[in-house]
Amino acid sequence: MKEVNSFLDYIKYEKRYSENTVLGYSNDLEQFFLFSSDRFGDTDLSQINRSMVRSWIVHLVQNNAAPSTVRRKVSSLQSFFKFLRKKNIVAHNPTNALQLPKKGEKVPTFIKMGEMHQVLEGVQDIHEDTEYNSVLEKAILYVLYGTGMRRGEIINLKLSDFKSYENSLSVIGKGNKQRLIPLSDELTSIINYYITRRSLIEIKCNEQFLFLTSSGAKLYPGFVHRTIKKYLGNEVHAEKISPHTLRHTFASHLSQNGADLNAIKSLLGHSSLSSTQVYTHHSIEGLKKIYSASHPKSD
């Protein structure tokens, strides 16, 4: 559908959304139009109404889609129709004033501090490694936990984003927003050592990117995911292990150690403080324990 392609080009090139975000919008829209065609037959965009969208929502709920998933999919459809209204392709937005499933507050999956420390202690000193893949994998593990960046962000890091002299990384996040993440001396040393090993491999292309596979190619999502599963899969107790688990772990450990919520927001690159507030759960739980143990009227 040409209108969908135009919309995807708009969010990719004008809004500068990430490839993963654009793919998510594409999948959501494809699912809706497949459902609409199957349920209502071939329908012109101008004929799609609120009742059709409501039927899709019911279909998603009946197929056990989580409330957050339903809300995201409808949001994708809403953005698409806003785009169509702006271009005067349709006269109304059928997603307006829809009742959506309530989004329950979900505490992100994270790794306990003691378990994370054990994993890092169990990984031999990165400076002793001679195999390039080992150096690369351990650098990925340390960087994700030490910065809280997203998988797509570490994949797209450039050599020029690393400022060794000032212990920092410049990261381009969602919405093409740039943020500066401070690094510990240890993490700066790990990245520097990785770069010395990187200089010994044959770089076929993408030489501007910081992290490259042993074949000299740019990292890709599956490589990062497998790396995290390799080092954490059998070592920690968590519902889900993925690169994003380390992002949650980074934020949760900062919160547990008393970091200011606005500082965590800046480090994660959140546009709204409400996105960061979920990590205060862990601080509150810690305060409850202190209160129960210390306050004379806590019983």
Q: What is the pLDDT of residue 250?
A: 92
Of 138, 150, 198, 248, the catalytic one is 150
Q: Which residues does 104 contact at the CB level (< 8 Å), separation at least 6?
A: 67, 68
Of 17, 194, 279, 282, the catalytic one is 279
Give yes or no: 270 in active site.
yes
Question: Global pTM?
Answer: 0.64
Q: What is the pLDDT of residue 96?
A: 85
Of 54, 174, 179, 218, the catalytic one is 174
Candidate from 59-63, 121-125, 189-193 with smallest mean pLDDT: 121-125
| Confidence at 105, pLDDT banded by 50, 70, 90 | low
Mean confidence (pLDDT) of the chain: 86
Judge whether 246 and 110 are in contact, CB under 8 Å. Answer: no
Residue ranges covered by each domain of the chain: 2-86, 113-290
Give yes or no: 50 in active site.
no
Of 73, 151, 198, 247, the catalytic one is 247
Of 12, 50, 112, 244, the catalytic one is 244
Report the amino acid identity of residue 161.
Answer: D
For the ranges 8-12, 66-70, 204-208, 260-264, the maximum mean pLDDT occurs at: 8-12
Give yes or no: 229 in active site.
no
The pLDDT of residue 217 is above 60: yes
Q: What is the pLDDT of residue 51?
A: 86
- Rounded Cα distance between 220 and 212, Å, is 9
For the ranges 5-19, 115-129, 231-245, the maximum mean pLDDT occurs at: 5-19
Average pLDDT over residues 175-200: 93
Determine the CATH number of domain 2-86.
Answer: 1.10.150
Give yes or no: 244 in active site.
yes
Q: What is the pLDDT of residue 290?
A: 46
- Rounded Cα distance between 219 and 199, Å, is 16
Percent of the chain topping pLDDT 70: 90
Give yes or no: 265 in active site.
no
The pLDDT of residue 283 is above 80: no
Q: What is the pLDDT of residue 187?
A: 95
| Confidence at 278, pLDDT banded by 50, 70, 90 | confident
The pLDDT of residue 102 is above 70: no
Average pLDDT over residues 184-209: 91
- Rounded Cα distance between 198 and 213, Å, is 9
Percent of the chain topping pLDDT 90: 45
Give yes or no: 150 in active site.
yes
| Confidence at 289, pLDDT banded by 50, 70, 90 | low
Q: Tokens 């919520």 identify what position?
A: 261
Candidate from 104-113, 128-137, 214-223 with smallest mean pLDDT: 104-113
Q: What is the pLDDT of residue 108?
A: 74
- pLDDT tens digits for range 148-167: 999 999 999 999 999 999 99
DSSP H helices in the chain: 2-9, 19-40, 50-62, 67-86, 113-122, 132-147, 151-155, 185-198, 221-232, 243-256, 261-268, 273-276, 280-294
One of 3.40.50.300, 1.10.443.10, 3.40.50.2300, 3.40.120.10 is the CATH number of 113-290, namely: 1.10.443.10
